[in-house]
């Protein structure tokens, strides 16, 4: 097989993995602070992607303008979602709280998918920017890929700066590392949980726009994306954005190479197989938290 083809697929895998990492960022923070598995996380991305596509095709808005519109709305949605549906469960027993949060997020996943289907139909949608190609010795890179890669890098840097420099970001890291110690130092748990859930939801909106610029989205594609995000969290460590980025790139390249050398139908199963292997081989390491 020509080396140019392999490199072309490798570039696509790195780009896909970066998008997977962006999806996992918010989910990792939410799980590290709120301690719930948000099964609606991927569906929120699908809904935001469909909304972004509608705004782009219907109103002709630039993706950056769409991000400015959708991101605050998703922040507000995440905040209200936590305070109205998740927070009341914390007064229940541990078992009831865990089961209730799973039921709430799975129910939200189904409802959001149905609402998106009723508003925009079940057809796949994307944001088709004008195509301009750059040919590097047989390797074709589109300007859209460059924009998406730039967006991934910028968002990763901004989130990392937020967690390391801002007081709220440091509080999130502190709770992720030592919940009791953070509370002793005056970190308000309920307020922090609400804002963290909202912040994680807002990052999904940006990831959705970048994803829709590269790949089509549909209302019912959310759960597979959530599984991939869970896999990245296990591979990279909870709250570890650098680890999530490496794990996301690894997963994206693994899927791309599976499609190239084996069969594209098996590529989605790679994330599930990796997660099971890690849980079986490294059961203790997979549950450790990293900052």
Gap between the Cα atoms of 148 and 161, Å rounded: 20
pLDDT at 291: 45
Per-residue pLDDT at 41:
92
**CA diameter of the chain:** 62
> How many folded domains does the chain comprise?
1
Specify the pLDDT at position 78: 93
The boundaries of the domain holding residue 176 are 3-287
List of the chain residues with pLDDT < 50: 287, 289-291
pLDDT tens digits, 82-136: 999 998 888 888 888 888 989 999 999 999 988 888 877 777 888 888 777 777 7
Provide the 8-state DSSP code for 133.
Answer: E
Q: What is the CATH number of the domain that holds 264?
A: 1.10.3470
Task: Extract the tokens encoding 22.
Answer: 């962006």
Give helix then strand counts, H and E, for the chain. 11, 2
Residues 6+ apart with CB under 8 A from 269: none
pLDDT tens per residue, range 255-270: 888 887 777 777 777 7
* Residue 160 burial (10 A CB sphere; 0-12, 13-18, 19+): middle
pLDDT at 290: 46
* Rounded CA separation 119/47 (Å): 10
Instruction: Determine the pLDDT at residue 71.
Output: 94
Query: Would you call 136 helix, strand, or coil by DSSP?
Result: strand
What angle is formed at CA 280 by the lines to CA 275 and CA 284, rounded to 5 degrees?
95
What is the per-residue pLDDT for 177? 59
Six token digits for residue 83: 């305070």
DSSP-derived secondary structure letter, 129: P
Closest of 263, 265, 235, 252 to residue 10, by C-alpha: 252
Q: Which of 268, 196, 194, 283 is nearest to 239 (CA)?
A: 196
CA pseudo-torsion sign 233, 164, 23, 11 = negative
Nearest Cα residue to 207 out of 9, 3, 26: 26
Q: Which residues pair with 142 in a beta bridge?
A: 133
Residues paired with residue 133 on neighbouring β-strands, in sequence order: 142
CB 72 within 8 A of CB 50: no
């Amino acid at each position: 097989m020509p080396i140019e083809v392999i490199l072309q697929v490798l570039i696509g895998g790195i780009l896909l993995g970066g998008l997977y990492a962006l999806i996992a960022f918010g989910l990792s923070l939410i799980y590290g602070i709120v301690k719930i598995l948000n099964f609606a996380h991927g569906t929120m991305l699908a809904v935001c992607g469909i909304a972004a596509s509608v705004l782009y095709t219907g109103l002709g808005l630039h993706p950056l303008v769409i991000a400015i519109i959708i991101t605050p709305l998703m922040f507000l949605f995440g905040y209200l979602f936590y305070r109205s549906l998740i927070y009341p469960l914390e007064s229940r027993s541990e078992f009831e709280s865990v089961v209730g949060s799973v039921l709430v997020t799975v129910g939200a996943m189904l409802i959001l998918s149905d609402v998106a289907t009723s508003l925009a139909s079940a057809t796949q949608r994307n944001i088709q920017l004008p195509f301009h190609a750059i040919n590097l010795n047989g390797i074709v890179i589109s300007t859209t890929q460059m924009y998406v890669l730039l967006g991934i890098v910028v968002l990763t840097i901004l989130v990392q700066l937020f967690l390391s420099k801002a007081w709220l970001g440091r509080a999130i890291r502190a709770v992720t590392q030592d919940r009791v110690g953070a509370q002793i130092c005056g970190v308000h748990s309920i307020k922090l949980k609400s804002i963290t859930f909202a912040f994680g939801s807002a990052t999904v909106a940006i990831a959705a726009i970048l994803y829709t610029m590269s790949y089509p989205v549909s209302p019912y594609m959310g759960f597979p994306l959530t599984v991939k995000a869970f896999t990245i969290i296990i591979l990279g460590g909870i709250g570890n954005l650098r680890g999530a980025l490496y794990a996301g790139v690894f997963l994206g390249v693994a899927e791309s190479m599976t499609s190239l050398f084996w069969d594209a139908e098996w590529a989605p199963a790679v994330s599930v197989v990796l997660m099971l292997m890690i849980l079986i081989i490294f059961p203790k390491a997979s549950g450790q938290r990293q900052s």
